[in-house]
Chain A
Amino acid sequence: MRRRHNAVPGFALTFGATMLYLSLVVLIPLAAMLLRAASTGPHELFSAIANRRALAAFGLSFGGALLAAAIAAVGGSIAAWVLVRYDFPGRKLFDALVDLPFAMPTAVSGIALATLLAPQGWVGRALLPLGWKLAYTRGGVIVAMVLVSLPFIIRTLQPALADLPLDVEEAAATLGSGRLRTVATIVAPQLLPALGSGFALAFARAVGEYGSVIFIAGNLPGKTEIVPLLIVVELEQYDYAAATALGAAMLAASFAVLLCIHLLPRWMSRRRLAQAGG
């Protein structure tokens, strides 16, 4: 990994500037928090995380994000398939709208969802006769998480789907494979690496999401309270040790997901290669 292009100038300047900026804005603040967590006693750290309220929040944040990413993976896969393979009126409009959760401020999505799903809201009213209540429940938290994580699934699947060679599917059909079987055994396995990294990105976003969740969650401690909100609550009570412990736990989780995002596609393609070889 040595520098190859010595003829182009500016490496020292731009690399130095990049490192300086990264250190000031990202690395030093992160290191400061980890140091703070390390200097807090293990007992204090443990008691900040291992209490009923915090554990319930972790359960909702991680369990909810897992469920939301799974829902987004199913719905997003179908949407990606339709947007890539089929033509219908409004396809381009829907394709452009997929990015809306990236562009829309989370507070706006939050109050819009809360208004929609409230018992007197457009959707909430329609769900009431069915006995479904989403506003101020865990269901509402998951709806908000699906909304913010959906673009990650669709946007990672689309290029993978567009790159799939149709002749393999044709060959399968010629050999007598039914369409469903072809899709399940030939198409789906090739999309798994992309779906895997999309899922990890979706999960990471859903776990940390704050703005679009808090308006619809109702924020009942132990019931509909997510970890980011609990951090805000601890900070408002000036309990810095508890906030640091919770923040460090969240950070550890996001590092683990980041590692997955980088390793998962490699691992999956290696496994596929091994299978193809053996």
Chain B
Amino acid sequence: MAAGTAWRLGGGATAGSTRATREPLWVRLLLIGFTVAFLGGLLVLPLVVVLSQAFSEGVRTWVASVVDPEARAAIALTLKTAAIVVPLNAAFGMAAAWALGKFRPRGRELWITLVDLPFSVSPVVAGLLFVLLFGRNGWLGPWLAERDIQIIFAVPGIVIATLFITAPFVARELLPIMEAQGTDEEEAARLMGASGWTIFWRVTLPNVKWGLLYGLVLCNARAMGEFGAVSVVSGHIRGLTNTLPLEVEVRYGEYQATAAFALASLLSALALVTLVVKTVLERRLEARTE
């Protein structure tokens, strides 16, 4: 680890490159050309297709597809889900980052792995977990049915599946920041008599606010865009349990491609806004750590 730090201090970035460490011009141009074509084809082209298909029948059709009752219900459900999921996972993320970043509890590596776990579970398997737990034939199915509580094929199931999928986002961003900042400032505040809450609000939170925002933005993007897990638990009831990505699927499947792409263009706009905010926040985070 010490060697790595020494390298970092001694090594220059691109700015320090000399003729000896640079490739011939034709190689550079070839590699740049490849990169532009590869990233352009894989990342930019799909985006262009979404926009061109969404508006292929004019602005009026686009507006009509976006404001029809089912689309509005899907947008409302997507917003509602994110409004429940993001604050809960933010609170979880802050607690986890505080406990595992500021302290070294026994089994810390294991706890961090568990926090990250939902990232490595297939979304469909995530949905399946909750069907097996709350579904008609699930562990709690009979108990829930007796009390007339429906979770699967209803909004609560969508919320829970999204909670699972997006749980690591805030924790994962905050943990390294809290760890790097250590506990000096908190200890100083403690010595001056500040209470735990005061320390959190006045010392820790201002220090991690950009990281927190970064995590929130990513968490929100995934919560609004999640497809696989939600698809398994939703039941696809139009106007009731279809989120925006599910409504895109339904319309596409019904050969209403233009309407599907109109809704997809809304989600693309969300993705682009997320990218812009993310890029701005990354600059801020870098400025802070330098």
Contact = CB atoms under 8 A, between A and B. Distances in A.
Contacts of A111: 50, 248-249, 252, 257, 260-261, 264
A104 B103 contact: no
Nearest to A212: B227
A66 interface: no
B267 A8 contact: no
B17 interface: yes
B104 interface: yes
Interface in B1-40: 4, 7-8, 10-14, 16-18, 20-21, 23-24, 28, 31-32, 34-36, 38-40
Given A1-B107, A7-B191, A10-B200, 11 more contacts: A4-B104, A11-B102, A14-B95, A21-B167, A22-B114, A166-B18, A204-B120, A215-B249, A227-B122, A238-B137, A250-B122
Contact of A166 (B12, B36, B95, B246): B12
Given A97-B44, A238-B137, A18 B123 contact: no
B120 A258 contact: yes
Contacts of B46: 104, 108-109, 112-113, 116, 147
A137 interface: no
A22 B115 contact: yes
B226 interface: yes
B102 A5 contact: yes
Given A4-B104, A210-B231, A166 B16 contact: yes
A107 B138 CA distance: 28
A243 B227 contact: no
A29 B164 contact: yes
A98 B44 CA distance: 10
24 contacts: A2-B106, A5-B102, A5-B187, A8-B102, A8-B199, A10-B196, A25-B160, A26-B114, A32-B129, A94-B35, A98-B39, A103-B275, A104-B46, A105-B271, A107-B249, A108-B248, A147-B43, A164-B7, A179-B23, A207-B122, A228-B125, A231-B128, A250-B125, A255-B120
Interface in B190-231: 190-191, 195-196, 199-200, 218, 221, 224-228, 231
A169 B114 CA distance: 40
B84 interface: no
A244 B95 contact: no
A4 B224 CA distance: 40
A113 B261 CA distance: 12
B248 A32 contact: no
B268 interface: yes
Interface stretch (A42-50, A77-85, A128-136): A77-85
Interface residues on A, range: 35 or more
B108 interface: yes
A227 B221 CA distance: 26
Given A78-B31, A174-B20, A210 B227 contact: yes
A14 B225 CA distance: 29
Contact of B98 (A10, A79, A99): A10
A78 B135 CA distance: 47
A169 B20 CA distance: 8
Interface residues on B, range: 35 or more
B92 interface: yes
Q: Is the interface of A mostly helix, strand, loop or mixed?
A: helix
A128 to B, nearest CB: 17
A211 interface: yes
Contact of B113 (A106, A162, A250, A258): A258
Contacts of B11: 163-167
A240 B137 CA distance: 8
B99 interface: yes
Contacts of B167: 21-22, 25-26
Contact of B50 (A32, A108, A173): A108
Among B46, B129, B248: residue with most chain A CB under 10 A: B46
Given A109-B46, A232-B124, A85 B10 contact: no
A105 B36 contact: no
A272 to B, nearest CB: 11
Contacts of A112: 46-47, 49-50, 264
A86 to B, nearest CB: 6
Interface string A17-39: 11101100111111011001000
Nearest to B123: A210
A258 B117 contact: yes
Interface string A120-146: 011100000000000000000000001
